[in-house]
Amino acid sequence: MTYALQTTSLVKKFGGFVATSKVSLNVEAGARHALIGPNGAGKTTLINLLTGFLEPTSGEVILNGDKVTHLAQHQRVKRGLARTFQINRLFADLTVLESVVMAVNERLGLGARFWQSVGSHTAAVDEAVELLERLRLLDVAHETTRNLAYGKQRLIEIALALAAKPSVLLLDEPAAGVPTIESRELFETIAGLPREVTILLIEHDMDLVFRFADRISVLVGGAVLTEGTPEVIAHDPKVKEVYLGEAICD
């Protein structure tokens, strides 16, 4: 079995607080893997460790068989690990096309070209246009990002990540803040991604998770509580307890 993304006993401590506790995660190549867990389970910290925003206290992160534990964020992106953000992190005053062209430029290694205009690098522009077409963003290509509805902006989040042609894509609550109808469309787009792209999905909405994922890891208190197929997870009493407990607390 080949794994696209693995962690081995990953630990992250903030002072005395253990945010991530010996997490060993194995995401198979081509999987639709979901990471769920109640608030404060350490999902965001784990994402930050995977992408390189944080360095772990101990343990390793392995991407396509290579250790990337100490690589910077942009170096991991170059090796095929891209992410979207739970809360949009976009370029408010750039147009949609400019944003995506910029991301494609980085993957093609054109980001430091300083003489020819952006538009004259046609390979990058063509690729960006194709990506916009795939995500049905072509009609707003020249709109300034800040003027778009939130749902459209969520698609730009995904377009920017896909521009990196990732082999592993981390989706951090892609449907957060999007109205139900639009979120269904969003997930159709995500489900339509080719199988070469391994997806690790962090999501609160259980319906979406159980429809989308073929493998689920449950994170509680910074550690992996259990892992398995959706059927197994759905009938796991420990998982029920965790979510039931949370429901009562709410």
Partner 1 sequence: MNKSMIDLTPLTRATRWHPAELAFWLLPVAGYFLLQDNLVLLTQIAITALFCLSLDLILGFAGIVSLGHTAFFGIGAYAAGLMAAHGHGDPLLGLLVAGICAGIAGFISSLLVLRGADLTRLMVTLGVAMMLYELANKLTPITGGVDGLQGMEIQPLFGSFAFDMFGKTAYWYAVGVLFVMFVIARRLVHSPFGLSLKGIRQNVGRMPAIGAPVNARLAAVYTLGALYAGIAGALLAQTTQFVALDVLSFNRSAELLLILVLGGSGCLYGALIGTIVFMTAHHFLSDMNPEYWQFWLGLLLVLIVLFARDGVMGGVRRLGALGKGGAKA
> Residue numbers of the site for partner 1 (CB under 8 A)?
51-53, 72-74, 77-78, 82-83, 85, 89-95, 97-99, 101-103, 105-107, 110-121, 124-125, 129-130, 132-133, 138-139, 141-142, 160-161, 163-164
Select 81 or 225, whichever has its Cβ closest to partner 1: 81
Q: What is the nearest approach in angstroms of partner 1 to the Cβ of residue 159?
A: 10
All residues at 6 or more sequence positions from 181 whose CB lies less than 8 Å from its CB, including other chains: none
β pairing state of 198-202 and 32-36: parallel
Q: What gap in Å lies between CA 164 and CA 156, rounded to an integer? A: 13
Select 110 or 206, whichever has its Cβ closest to partner 1: 110
Q: What is the nearest approach in angstroms of partner 1 to the Cβ of residue 139?
A: 5
Select 91 or 243, whichever has its Cβ closest to partner 1: 91
- Between the CA of residue 188 and those of 110, 114, 142, 166, 193, what are the distances in Å? 32, 38, 24, 19, 9
Q: What is the nearest approach in angstroms of partner 1 to the Cβ of residue 212?
A: 22
Q: What gap in Å lies between CA 244 and CA 22, rounded to an integer? A: 25
Q: Is 96 exposed, middle or buried (0-12, 13-18, 19+ CB in 10 A)?
A: buried
Calculate the CA dihedral of residues 246, 26, 205, 131 and round it to 10 degrees.
150
Q: What is the nearest approach in angstroms of partner 1 to the Cβ of residue 102?
A: 5
Q: What is the nearest approach in angstroms of partner 1 to the Cβ of residue 245?
A: 34
Select 157 or 227, whichever has its Cβ closest to partner 1: 157
